[in-house]
Amino acid sequence: MKEKIMNAMQRFSKAMFIPVLILPIVGILIAFGNILTNARLAEYAPFLKNTLIFGFGKILSGSLVPILSNLGIIFCVGLAVGLAKEKKAESGFTSVLVYFVFINAMNIFLNLSGKLVPADQLRGSGQAVVLGTQVLDMGVFLGIILGIVVAYIHNRYCKKDFNGAFQVYGGSRLVFLILIPIVVVLAVVLSYVWPSVQWGISSLGYYIQKSGNFGIFIYGMLERLLIPTGLHHLVYTPFLYTQLGGVETIGGQVIEGARNIYFAEIADPAVKVLSGSVIWDARGVSKMFGLVGACLALYHTADDDKKKKAKAILIPAAITSIIAGVTEPIEFSFLFTAPILFGIHAVLSGLGMVALNILNVRAIGPNGLIDFLLYNLPLGIEKTSWPMFVLVGIVQFAIYYGLFRFLIVKLNLKTTGREDDKDDVQLYTKSDYKAKAEGNKSIASDDKALVIIEALGGKENIKKVDNCYTRLRLILEDSTKVDEKTLKGTGAAGVVIKGENVQVIYGLNVTSIRSMVDNALGIVGE
């Protein structure tokens, strides 16, 4: 049972990387597009006023933003594909159909039961328009639920076939037919259950607003903790746009909401010092500083032979967080592999906001460095105290780095570049590799794939071949037949054997190794 649980957790962790690893690329390109289209920045860099440059930036950011705003379906497809044991393409296709069935079933049920709010009253209602359909806003959580459900049903019934006239309903069609009533019932059940979750969050909002620095801490912590579910906006949105975030009279008008107050105050020259309401929009300190320290800690604690892999993931993620305030690429990189770090990140984020409030800092930077520079610096130190924002950020950077690095090493956390592949990683010599190849006449000395297969016990011993980003993952009939020395002679950094599951660590070139092995085994397609 323990081995089954561990295998399931490994499959889930690997499947999560399918949608997660695309986020750094998306985020960094969106940030670049925002720079090219920023009107205030164009005042200092006239070349940005060029129509072609502006148009390119607009297209670049505008075409990629929908990816971040539709993470639900992306995680749904990613998990369905990653968790499917076979016929992965069909599983992914089914997940798209199921996602549409779910949101439309929920929309129709909400409408029939009178729960659907008017389209012009969506803000703060707990509902949102998802792919053109108004439903309860469940964010990434919906994608994770549906992806797991689809993969489970797919793995059980994708090979079930019928004879005669009913054979057209076998395979992936049967999977979809089974999923339709399941998903419809799930949509109805969640229509009742999910509002309770949302109500709990809204109730917390009122409590937070009345609790001073403790409330600010809870606010900042929850805003991070709810990132995986996509519900974090239910925490901060009421504070930014309703009276929960404060009420101020500015220029003779009553303004409600932290962000509304901020923009009204910076537009009014009579306002000498920004109000305390701005603190509810000071969420950017951990994005611009803290998480960058976390990235550096992840990189420095990565195994030497995997630092290139870690760098390729963490540098774009850090730049995305600094410039655009998009933190998911970093947070999801350790959320599932080391959840204790995510909890600490949430606590430090809340403490950072408390420090800003104690120091009367009124600078904001919720969308990263560009917003911070353009909105705070022109107002001057008196209105915003922006140098203290930077100082708090530097201190937070150091705390994140020191604490993350200490815990990763102390607890041996399996963060990026620290997978369990360090058992006996000494490489075998090239001469030994050649000797092994020459010792078996059925294997050509220059054919690495055949040597690998032989070292795994032969073709008949291999039940399944797969790979992640650094490892060749196999299920073998008899793992005692594995020749670790020969595998290391082919360039493997290590071999991990757990029952019938064998992992051969090749690093970033594992994809080409997998392709060679598949070809030698005669595996076509999946």
Question: Catalytic residue numbers?
Answer: 468
504 φ, ψ (degrees, to nearest 5): -110, 120
The total of other beta-carbon atoms located within 10 Å of residue 406's CB is 12
* Calpha distance 235→205 (Å, rounded): 6
Max CA pair span of the chain: 92
Give the distance, in angstroms, between the CA of residue 248 and the centroid of all CA atoms in the same chain: 37
Q: Are 394 and 291 in contact (CB under 8 A)?
A: no
* Calpha distance 370→349 (Å, rounded): 20
Query: In what order do the strands lie in the sheet containing 494-498?
Result: 462-467, 471-476, 501-505, 494-498
The three-state DSSP-derived secondary structure of 373-434 is HHHHHHHCHHHHCHHHHHHHHHHHHHHHHHHHHHHHHHCCCCCCCCCCCCCCCCCCCHHHHH
Query: What's the first-to-final CA gap in the chain, in angstroms?
Result: 28
* Calpha distance 423→436 (Å, rounded): 22
269 φ, ψ (degrees, to nearest 5): -65, -15
